[in-house]
Amino acid sequence: MKRIAVMTSGGDCPGMNAAIRSVVRTALNYEMEVYGIEQGYSGLMEDQFIKLESRSVANMIQRGGTFLRSARAPEFKEEEGQLKAMENLKNQGIEGLIVIGGDGSLAGAKVIHDKYHFPVIGIPGSIDNDIYGTDMSIGVDTALNTILWCIDTINDTASSHDRTFIIEVMGRNCGYLALMSAISGGAEAALIPEVPFKIENIIKKIKERYEEGKTRSVIILAEGVGSAGDFGKTFDMIGGFETRITVLGHIQRGGSPTHFDRILATRMGASAVDSLLNGESGVMTALQERKIELVPLGEVLNNKRKMDKKLLEIAEVLSK
Ligand code: F6P
């Protein structure tokens, strides 16, 4: 294999640049040529290829976002878009592709492997940690540290005013960010899509905590549950509170990647190149018990991550 391409697709996450850097320098070390595809599947369909050298990824490991840029490209679901993309890969002389992104991006990679029999490796990148088969996706650790800084900051002012805050964090279908940040941020409750709850029970719990002497309360709500604004209105109406709402939004998706994310991205990038050279395809690099393993994309996409029951229990016990 002499020429490969790499792209980032879907929602960006901190650590994508570190993964691209690792792909580029690992491949160059094997005397392969590397091309970057700008704007994910959009760029693949529109022939946006740029040659990457070692200097192209210099001073990049610490930068958030993705310098190749990213996009959500529903056109790739159609055969017309796929044929354009495959034609471009062929014309550019690309022999293997590495796709960094979330579920949607990995689904695109599966099509390239299954339908067009083209060598492709996926790397999980999404702050949500909703990708099956890997303990952690790239970007999750950085997002959690950003959220934690926000919770700590809000805690200061919440304590001064004996206030209740509702903090909305990202996670469309997955409450991982909400649960983990609630535990590490000492919040009173984590409301996540995986676990049904009654608002009356949350109100009762918060009132009891104030009666026991707490001077502030923080509730972390995953966006998949609904909007914090709507939840807050009902919470105040039934419970007689005057909550303050903070929606963290895209602040969670930016920022310089943490040490953990830089190392994870670097290991996965190197493993993806090695895997292509070893003739692997249709698989995703995954962190499992500290090792980088390969998981078939079919397995990744046909399964849903389960919330760790022990962590749910810990969150409940420690929020007293
Ligand atoms: O999938 C990652 C994610 O950050 C979700 O948590 C969030 O719902 C979504 O992307 C936001 O997407 P966009 O940036 O396209 O609004």
Atom index in ligand 1 nearest the CA of residue 253 equals 4
Q: Smallest Cα–Cα separation from 100: which of 27, 41, 30, 144? A: 41
Q: Which residues are CB-neighbours of 278 under 8 A, at least 6 positions away?
A: none
Domains in the chain: boundaries: 3-139+257-301, 142-253
Structure ipTM: 0.96
Identify the CATH homologous superfamily for domain 142-253.
Answer: Phosphofructokinase domain (3.40.50.460)
Question: Do the domains spanning 3-139+257-301 and 142-253 agree at the CATH topology level?
Answer: yes
Q: What is the pLDDT of residues 109-121, one digit of tens each?
A: 999 999 999 999 9
DSSP annotation of 239 reads: H
Residue range 62-95, pLDDT digits in tens: 999 999 999 999 999 999 999 999 999 999 999 9
Q: CATH assignment of 3-139+257-301, given 3.30.390.50, 3.30.70.360, 3.40.50.450, 3.30.1180.20?
A: 3.40.50.450
- Can 128 be counted among the known catalytic residues? yes
Among 12, 47, 114, 128, the one annotated catalytic: 128
User: How distant, in Å, are the alpha carbons of 10, 174, 302 from that of 132?
Assistant: 17, 11, 9
* Separation of CA 262 from chain center: 14
Question: 319 falls in which pLDDT band (50, 70, 90)?
Answer: confident
Predicted TM-score (pTM) of the model is 0.97
Nearest Cα residue to atom 1 of ligand 1: 11
The whole-angstrom separation of Cα 225 and Cα 196 is: 9
The whole-number average pLDDT for the span 308-316 is 93
**How many Cβ atoms are within 10 Å of 54's Cβ, its own excluded?**
12
Query: Above pLDDT 90, what percent of the chain?
Result: 98
Ligand 1, atom 3, lies closest to the CA of: 11
